[in-house]
Amino acid sequence: MLVSRAMNSLKYAFVLGFLWASPVLANVVETSPSSLTIETSVLVEVAPEAAFESLWRDLPRWWDSAHTWSGDAANLSLEPRAGGCYCEQLPAAGGSVQHGRVIFAQPGKLLRLNAALGPFQEMAIQGVLTFRFAAEGKGTRVTVNYRVSGAITMDPVKLAPMVDGMWTGQMRRFQKFVATGKPAE
């Protein structure tokens, strides 16, 4: 009986260790029936001001085109000022998309947007997307936090790892772009 309990405890510890070590699940901060929060970060080898500048100015160069409505990240723009638009042109359709609106911009420190991204755009939700820039060693720790709440029409427990995976991938592309000028993973 003691050996059986020990084996069960060992299995339980292994499963928990695996879940905590998982790069996608580790960044899901919380989920509830009406909300989710993810957070991920990367270290880039430039000063905070340069990381902030590259995040918005080079957005069309590092963002994955698969996560756009137009299919081409070159159609994205972000104005880093209060009221600035995180927008996308839809040249084939002659239209545009507002992904978010800047509500706080402090170069080299913080960029925050109201943003209902992707599938959240047609749900009655509020999304807050925050990028923090903090000096770390010879570089900058760029942390993205995305909080979504409201009438989420998909299961947040299943949705959160997908949202986290998307943001983790985007931040890896940003990190690689800052290091090499190319975003390919």
What residues contact residue 70 under an 8 Å CB cut-off, 6+ apart?
A: 88, 89, 90, 91, 92
Question: Domain of 63: which CATH number?
Answer: 3.30.530.20
Q: Which residues, at least 6 apart from 115, have a Cβ–Cβ distance to it below 8 Å? A: 86, 99, 100, 101, 127, 128, 129, 146
Q: Could you give the CA distance from residue 106 to residue 44 in angstroms, rounded to a whole number?
A: 18
Judge whether 153 lies within some domain: yes
* Residue 171 domain flag: yes
In a domain, 5, yes or no: no
Answer yes or no: is 99 within a domain: yes
Burial class for 162, CB neighbours closer than 10 Å (0-12, 13-18, 19+): middle
- Give the pLDDT score at 107: 98
CA–CA distances in Å: residue 37 to residues 96, 107, 126, 153? 27, 24, 12, 16
Which pLDDT value is given to residue 183? 83
Report in angstroms the alpha-carbon separations of 53 from 83, 103, 111, 143, 184.
Answer: 17, 17, 11, 15, 20
**Does a structural domain hold residue 133?**
yes
- Residue 111's domain comprises 27-180
Question: What's the domain count of the chain?
Answer: 1
pLDDT tens for the chain, residues 1 to 185: 433 333 333 333 333 333 333 333 349 999 999 999 999 999 999 999 999 999 999 999 999 999 999 999 999 999 999 999 999 999 998 999 999 999 999 999 999 999 999 989 999 899 999 999 999 999 999 999 999 999 999 999 999 999 999 999 999 999 999 999 998 65
In a domain, residue 17? The reply is no
Rounded CA separation 103/131 (Å): 12
**Does residue 141 fall inside a structural domain?**
yes
- 14 domain-assigned: no
